[in-house]
Amino acid sequence: KLEETFKDLNENTKKTEKDHQLCTICEVSKENYSRLNPLLSTMIHSKYARGIQAANVLLSLRLVGIQDKNLEQLFQEVRDSEVKKGSDLTSGQLALVILSLRACQNSDESVTYFPLVSQLEEKFQKEIENMGVPDGNPLTNYYQLSLDLLTLCLFNGSYSITEVKNYFTPENKNFYFGGQFSVDTGAMAVLALTCVKRSIMNRQIQTNGEDLQYINNYTESLVKKILSEKKGNGLIGNIYSTGEAMQALFVSPNYYNKNEWNCQQTLDTVLKEISQGAFDMPTAAAQILPALMGKTYLDVNNVSSCASGPGHLNISIHEPIPVEPTISPTWISVNYTVQINETFFTEVTVPKGSVFLDVMEEAQKINQTAFRFTFVESSWGPYITSVQGLEENHNDRTYWQLLSGGEPVSQGVGNYVVHNGENLELMTDSFIRAKNEKSQRETARDVDRTGEIGMAWFTLYLLNL
Ligand code: CBY
């Protein structure tokens, strides 16, 4: 039976490889390389790219075979700063650092990073321990857990197949945030599971046919979920999850039919979005680029991915021209509400082009007690951790959610540009705890009825609901 399974899987892999070649027609063609310039420019000139952001950029550029003197500097920076504070990093951050340092290096150099891999083994174990039972929560999240597994798998770290089988069930609540399937998370899990599957098939790890069957089933189900998030314009999830979703679909072509995904359409939409400046953040640019060049994180160990060298992408990168500040800005007005059993409301006037965070800061100036908040810097920009002293809680899986017109927005507070007449709202933990998801929707409709349609909300969202 085991032999049969291996035979089946081997055939599937051959098919995968063949299909992958077919799929490469989806890569950006040479004539279109110049359309990637905004991405490269954002990454290479990101003066503030430090730490994890730098690791994201480094991994991305190396995967597509770009060598650059700034990149070498970046490499030194990531190595010096991140390796030193290794123990402060979250598991996924450490995984990303390992991937970025390893991408494109000679195999003998990998010896240097061996201690990092064993550090990652420990951190991964702590994540698993924190979950306790299969339906518990990790220290961070499943996106990072998947990054961990992927990295351990690629660098021959140790992990338990039984744990993979127990915790990576696609029905696990950790694949969802606020009732919504997280495409980024699912995609990263597919990449990790594919790596595990390949190691089993290469007999690098000992296991039985049953485990393989589980991994196949999980992959299939996750791929289905990813494809069900495909939008009419070809994006998968939203614009920021599309790159990783593409990677997942590249490595798993035998889990869906050709007519289920029009790769070219996805690519065209992404290229259009690039020209409209959607990827003006280094991390965003870094996460979309590999897929556009037909690469996946599974290629990290594939030295040939760097062989093409600098001439491969003929890029002309110009320093971005600084935008002249307008002398007399146009002002817009935005409604801002904090809801903590009672409602705190204010109208804020900000210059046109302001972001969500500007509104929150203005509101805080007006009424410190009602509108005070805290945030931390993440690789995606500022991330809100508390409002009116009410902290998010990872163990309860609660967080402050940002919505527009009742829909979660797809950017953080530092990037989301607000519009005239928008309304920002904050709801507390206890407020939501008292209601179920259904009555929450009714609340949204009530507010709409009061005439505040198409407004942005800010909600402390209970993920477990
Ligand atoms: N990276 C991580 O650990 C993050 C993983 C990730 C799945 C990530 C998206 C995907 C990615 N490619 O990096 C993720 N977000 C997670 C896990 C989370 C949760 C973080 C907390 C935890 N428990 O670990 C959480 C709380 C559910 C979350 N993201 C919240 C938010 C909102 C932040 C609001 C705030 N408090 O400031 C927000 C704004 C959604 C909302 N409407 O409220 C949000 N995330 C967004 C928009 C995003 C996207 C960022 C896009 C952008 N241009 O800014 C995202 C790419 C990302 C970062 N989140 Co989360 C997803 C997307 O839209 N495609 C590993 C580490 C090594 O770097």
ipTM value: 0.98
List the strands of the sheet with 342-351, edge to edge: 342-351, 331-340, 423-427
Ligand 1 centroid, distance to 57 Cα (angstroms)? 18
Q: What pTM was computed for the model?
A: 0.86
Q: Which of 131, 279, 401, 461 to mutate to test the pocket of ligand 1 (most atoms within 8 A of CB)?
A: 401
Q: Which of 88, 231, 361, 399 to mutate to test the pocket of ligand 1 (most atoms within 8 A of CB)?
A: 399
Name the maximum alpha-carbon separation found in the chain.
Answer: 75
User: Does ligand 1 lie within 6 Å of residue 143's CB atom?
Assistant: yes
The number of C-alpha atoms within 13 Å of 212 and in the hemisphere containing its C-beta is: 23
State the Cα–Cα distance between residues 288 and 109, nearest whole angstrom.
27
Q: Per DSSP, what are the bridge partners of residue 316?
A: none
User: Does ligand 1 lie within 6 Å of residue 93's CB atom?
Assistant: yes
Ligand 1: which atom is nearest the Cα of residue 241? 64
Atom 36 (ligand 1) nearest CA: 384
Residues 39-73: tens digit of each pLDDT: 999 988 776 667 788 889 989 988 998 876 666 67
User: Does ligand 1 lie within 6 Å of residue 176's CB atom?
Assistant: no
Tokens describing residue 101:
């340092």
Q: Tell me the mean pLDDT per 10 residues along the chain, length 465.
A: 51 51 68 93 77 88 79 72 73 92 58 79 96 84 98 94 94 90 98 96 79 95 98 97 97 94 96 95 96 94 51 52 69 86 87 95 94 94 91 80 80 94 67 42 43 37 38
Atom 5 (ligand 1) nearest CA: 143
| Exposure class string for 175-198: b at 16+ Cβ within 10 A, else e | bbbbeebbbbbbbbbbbbbbbbbb
State the Cα–Cα distance between residues 195 and 199, nearest whole angstrom.
6
DSSP class of 237:
S
Length of the chain: 465
Res 267: pLDDT: 97
User: Does ligand 1 lie within 6 Å of residue 279's CB atom?
Assistant: no
Res 310: pLDDT: 42
| Exposure class string for 208-242: b at 16+ Cβ within 10 A, else e | ebebbebbbebbbbbbebbbebbeeebbbbbbbbb
Strand 407-408 vs strand 398-404: parallel, antiparallel, or unpaired? antiparallel
User: Does ligand 1 lie within 6 Å of residue 141's CB atom?
Assistant: yes
Mean pLDDT of the chain: 81
Ligand 1: which atom is nearest the Cα of residue 381? 54
Give yes or no for a contact between 284 and 266, defined as CB atoms under 8 angstroms apart: no
DSSP class of 236:
B
User: Does ligand 1 lie within 6 Å of residue 92's CB atom?
Assistant: yes
Give yes or no for a contact between 301 and 295, defined as CB atoms under 8 angstroms apart: no
User: Does ligand 1 lie within 6 Å of residue 398's CB atom?
Assistant: no
Res 409: pLDDT: 85
User: Does ligand 1 lie within 6 Å of residue 182's CB atom?
Assistant: yes
Res 463: pLDDT: 40
Res 277: pLDDT: 94
User: Does ligand 1 lie within 6 Å of residue 424's CB atom?
Assistant: no
Ligand 1 centroid, distance to 184 Cα (angstroms)? 9
